[in-house]
Structure 1
Amino acid sequence: MSRFSENIEANEDWTDYGSAGDIPVGPRLSSYHLHTAEWREAFLERLVAVGEPALLEATSRVYELLAEPKDYRSALIAKAAGVTGIGKIAILYTLQAFLDEWLQPTQPLPPPSSFEDVQSWHKAATRVWNSDSEREQWVVKKFAAVLDGKAISEFAHS
């Protein structure tokens, strides 16, 4: 039994979301509060770590915490994300759009053969990785704001 198993048993809000061990142990998405941008960002980052196995749980959590009228608010969130739907379907499509955008490949790594030495290639590859990291952080912030009812069009990615 791993040290994480003990934490899961002691705290039912923690889970490993699967038996393969490829998903990091951490809090269940249903335990996140979504009342601030920081909570929504942490929630989305955890959703990225877990992926599609937790999509329905994430959908239920967002919908559960919406103020009334929930169907109206969920439709506004979907519209802000550029998807359609009402109710839980709207939230599901919004979260799926988030995962799709987060996972979108950006620029490929440059081929090593196009550089004089490995250090030059490494610098170029590091610039690509840093650019990806910045884009991923931007996508999380954008969708955290969408869950708060702000339109995607309010964000300009530089």
Structure 2
Amino acid sequence: MESVAAGTKAANKKPVHRRKVEELLKNYRTWKATLQMEEEFPSCTPVYEERTSPGYSAYVSTTEQYGIRRTEQRERLEWMEVEVKRIERSLAVLDIDERLVLEERYMQNRLDKEVQARLMWSESTYRRIKKEAMRKMAVMLGVV
């Protein structure tokens, strides 16, 4: 039984599911800002060139390279959008206190002590609420 428990915790004693949720919540701000700052890609004009070597299959033209980069960027943005929506839906299900703790801590990038002081809660109350919020988020985000 100890080996199973030891396997779920890192050197810093946090359960794996909690570290995963923290990582998602910390990335949320960056992903959200990236999506908000997304600009339209400039239009491109096809460039045609003669290929003289037989069997040549590499993408050489700037138009083809641009198209590939644009497609890869669009796929990354779509993935970010899905993750942001998952996080937002999960946060909406939490109790108000739980949501407030996670938003203040991870989305406002405050320290635990700062959030605890702002809410005027005891350390044990703060930790209990945060722990329960992280557990619920892990279940909703599918990291458990």
- Give the TM-score normalised by the residue count of structure 2: 0.32
TM-score (norm 1): 0.29
Larger Cα-atom Rg: 2
* Greater relative contact order (Cα < 8 A, sep 6+): 2
